[in-house]
Amino acid sequence: MAIDPEKLSITINERDVITALLYAAPKDRASITLILGHGAGANQLHPFMRLFAAGLAEHGFDVLTFNFQYMEQGRRAPDPKAKLEACYRAVIETARKHKRLKGNRMVIGGKSMGGRIASQVAADWTGLTGLTRLGNDKQPSKKVGSSTGASDKRARKAKGGDRSGNLNVYAKGRRDDIVPQSEELAGLVFLGYPLHPPGKPEQLRDAHLPQVTVPMLFVQGSRDAFGSAEEIRATIKKHRLRATLHVVEGGDHSLKVPKTRGIPQDEIYGATMDAIASWIQKLS
């Protein structure tokens, strides 16, 4: 079923307005809004973004994509960090107030840079109406395996993934001492997290990740030049993140696999979307 997205205009400030697209779930709605930001070099109309937005909407999620300001204005160089984050926050506020999306819990993330900016926003909720800064006030501890949900039970049991080696790769001893003040944010999904620039593994973009207290799903190609699956796995362990790793074997930064593997690319993407949907559905 082809999904015809609803076009939205989002006012960022007195000068800037961006375009967003809402791919409403056609059936079996899960009461989840999934916000996906685009990568640094392509906007929300890129085939990858449209494919994943429509495909995940088919799984029952209301998916919202958008253009960052620089892309909306036809500029090539991404905006500064603060401006990118402010844009993402404005999209979240729009989703919270949209008549169709009111009452939904949120999962935020995106492709490459879009996912990284989402993680920075999640690490500090300052400026979002109705939400307080994560980690600002400590709540009573929730130990692994307690009432925090099935994901915590899996965290205690998992030691390196399921039988396929893809899902449920949790780090031992992750942070459970701080919980978000709002249950509105359910988790984050990264479609190729840009851990470092290609060829520069020393320039890590992970310092803020320990401040993210909700579950995270890293969907990473095993040969991603911006951070291989093994590098992501090491980052999860180093920071004791509340995270799951789904590995696309042979995948690059766009999760594309070599034709020599003999697996159609649409099959790879389909299985990846199934894995993302399964993970989101298990969030408590």
Q: Which residue, among 34, 241, 23, 267, has the nearest Cα to 123 in the 3D structure?
A: 241
At a CB cut-off of 8 Å and minimum separation 6, what does 269 contact? 51, 52, 55, 255
Average pLDDT rounded to a whole number, residues 50-77: 97
Angle in degrees, CA 64, 111, 268, rounded to 5: 100
At a CB cut-off of 8 Å and minimum separation 6, what does 177 contact? 138, 141, 142
d(CA 186, CA 182): 9
Q: Is the pLDDT of residue 11 over 90?
A: yes
d(CA 199, CA 242): 27
Sign (positive/negative) of CA torsion 267, 271, 273, 274? positive
Q: Is 234 exposed, middle or buried (0-12, 13-18, 19+ CB in 10 A)?
A: middle
Alpha-helical segments (H) within 108-200? 113-123, 150-157
Average pLDDT rounded to a whole number, residues 240-251: 97
Q: Which residue, among 108, 25, 30, 105, has the nearest Cα to 66 in the 3D structure?
A: 108
Q: What is the pLDDT of residues 113-154, one digit of tens each?
A: 999 999 999 998 644 544 434 333 333 333 333 233 333 444
Q: Is the pLDDT of residue 66 over 90?
A: yes
Q: Is the pLDDT of residue 180 over 50?
A: no
Q: Which residue, among 205, 168, 171, has the nearest Cα to 282 in the 3D structure?
A: 168
Q: What is the pLDDT of residues 256-273, one digit of tens each?
A: 999 999 999 999 999 999
Does residue 175 or residue 223 have the better pLDDT?
Answer: 223
* 0.75 exceeded by pTM: yes
Q: Is the pLDDT of residue 165 over 70?
A: no
Residue type, 187: G
Q: Is the pLDDT of residue 162 over 70?
A: no
Q: What is the pLDDT of residues 190-239, one digit of tens each?
A: 999 999 999 999 999 999 999 999 999 999 999 999 999 999 999 999 99
At a CB cut-off of 8 Å and minimum separation 6, what does 208 contact? 119, 120, 123, 124
Q: Which residue, among 247, 252, 253, has the nearest Cα to 271 in the 3D structure?
A: 247
Q: Is the pLDDT of residue 252 over 80?
A: yes
CATH class of 6-281: alpha beta
Provide, rounded to the nearest whole percent, the portion of the chain with pLDDT above 90. Answer: 75
Query: pLDDT grade, residue 184 (50/70/90)?
Result: confident
Sign (positive/negative) of CA torsion 149, 192, 19, 128? positive
Provide, rounded to the nearest whole percent, the portion of the chain with pLDDT above 70. Answer: 79
Q: What is the pLDDT of residues 220-230, one digit of tens each?
A: 999 999 999 99
Measure the N-to-C terminal CA separation of the chain; round to a whole number of Å. 29
Segment among 33-42, 70-79, 168-177 with least mean pLDDT: 168-177
Predicted local confidence at residue 92, as pLDDT: 96
d(CA 144, CA 141): 10
Average pLDDT, the chain: 84
Using an 8 Å Cβ cutoff, are 88 and 20 in contact? no
Using an 8 Å Cβ cutoff, are 19 and 49 in contact? no
CA distances from 165 to 17, 162, 235, 276 (A): 43, 5, 17, 15
Please report where in the chains the tokens 């930001």 appear, as a residue.
37
